[in-house]
Amino acid sequence: MNVPQLFQTMPCRVSGYQAALDGLNISDTYLVAFNDICNNGTNILSPAAHSDYVGSYIYIPFLSKLFDLNIEITTILFYSLYGIICILISLVGLFKFYNSNISKIYGATFITSIGFLCIFISDTYCFYGLTTLALITWWTKIKELEKINYKKLIFLFLITGLIISFSNTVRGNSGNDVILSILVLLIFNTYKDKKFLRVWSIFLIVIPIVLINLQIKKIEIKAKNYLIKVKDIEKTYDLNFNRALWHNAYYSLGYLSINNKDVPVPSDTYSVEKARKVNPKVILYSSEYEKILKNEFIKFVKKNPFLFIQISASKAGVVLLYFLIFFNIGIYYLFKNKIKFETIIFFVPGIILNFLFGIAAEPNYVYLLGLFAYSGLFTTKLIEDYHSQ
């Protein structure tokens, strides 16, 4: 069975989930893959989530095995259910705490639209937008929640940490924009209200993050030990389950597709070939591999500073255009409002961080779903601020 066209999960990602499930059935160990044809070879054991974030390679095989569903259906259900849950959480926060009917109508329309866009993408990228949607309508009204019930406030902190940590295991940095916004807001409110003990509440968010990361690390270590014991492949694969970052950053230098032999071609293959040209024996996606591409990236920037500025400016222009499209009538309210400083304090850090994601890699819309969510919800809050004065 093929994944329906409506759902855009990368075919190699789905085959990777199948390989992780097959490896789990053989080894009784998560993150051990078998027959990972897209990444590691045919009919062999290998590390799952090769150069990817490991979360979905644990959760989807687990759910597939638990409910006895094939991997394609489980993949669709995994992303769809997370999307629906995040949309509902966001809408509850909107209708519970926002007072203006206009902001509710605009916000509900936006949340539903972006939420289902993410669901239809149904890949790890959708977590950028969904996690942001789930949390922002609550945290932009934190003052109101403080007045209601401190027990509910504590619950919000813990749930926030749980959602962010879960999200980051599936797609790294998909929850870090919200963490940054929350941290800046808490520090500002603490300084403003002189309630300095409040800053300790951030640890209520950190607790679930630490606990989930420790559990993920245990799973990674168990998989590594299994693969070394059963099949000594340390010289063939990197077994540290690290996401390749400089791999993407290096080939993204070819964003403008300039016809110049010194400019990288924007493809995974080019990064691999470049690293192997420097060291033919380098293990793909290992720390040494990443170090090589980091050095090549720096060399390119030093050799072509003006070209690098041109490439970065082009990316920034595309990201800015996306921001303006999704911010839309927020531009009007930004200048019409007597803006609440708390609104600016919350939204600007997350928007800047999402801007940087698009510039550091490439401004593909799937990488910018967090920016879309921030932009539309920023507009929603500006509408709320204006009509609730």
Q: What is the pLDDT of residues 110-129, one digit of tens each?
A: 999 999 999 999 899 999 99
CA–CA distance from 197 to each of 155, 186, 193, 201 (Å)? 18, 11, 11, 8
DSSP secondary structure code for residue 339 in this structure: -
Judged by DSSP in three states, 51 sits in coil
Q: What is the pLDDT of residue 292?
A: 94
pLDDT at 335: 85
Structure tokens at 307: 């070209």
What three-state secondary structure class fits 46? strand
Which among 164, 91, 88, 181 has a CA at the least distance from the CA of 127?
164
- What is the DSSP code string of 106-143? HHHHHHHHHHHHHHHH-STTHHHHHHHHHHHHHHTTHH
Q: Distances from the Cα of 263 to the Cαs of 252, 256, 258, 338, 359, in angstroms?
A: 10, 9, 7, 47, 17
Instruction: Tell me how far apart the alpha carbons of residues 275 and 350 are, in angstroms, rounded to a whole number.
Output: 33
Give the pLDDT confidence score for residue 148 in this predicted structure. 66
Beta strands, E only, the chain? 32-34, 45-47
pLDDT value, residue 1: 39
Q: Is 376 exposed, middle or buried (0-12, 13-18, 19+ CB in 10 A)?
A: buried
177 within 8 A of 353, measured Cβ to Cβ: yes
What's the mean pLDDT when you consider all of the chain? 90
Q: Output the pLDDT for position 158.
A: 93
The reported pLDDT for the residue numbered 105 is 97
Question: Mean pLDDT of residues grouped by 10 in the chain (389 residues)?
Answer: 60 94 96 90 88 94 96 96 97 95 96 95 94 96 75 87 96 94 88 69 89 96 90 75 87 82 83 92 89 94 92 94 96 84 93 93 91 97 88
The alpha-helical segments, DSSP class H, found in 140-175 are 142-148, 150-170
Q: Quickly count: other Cβ atoms within 10 Å of residue 270's Cβ.
A: 16
Q: What local confidence, expressed as pLDDT, does residue 90 receive?
A: 97
Close Cβ partners of 338 (under 8 Å, ≥ 6 residues apart): 389
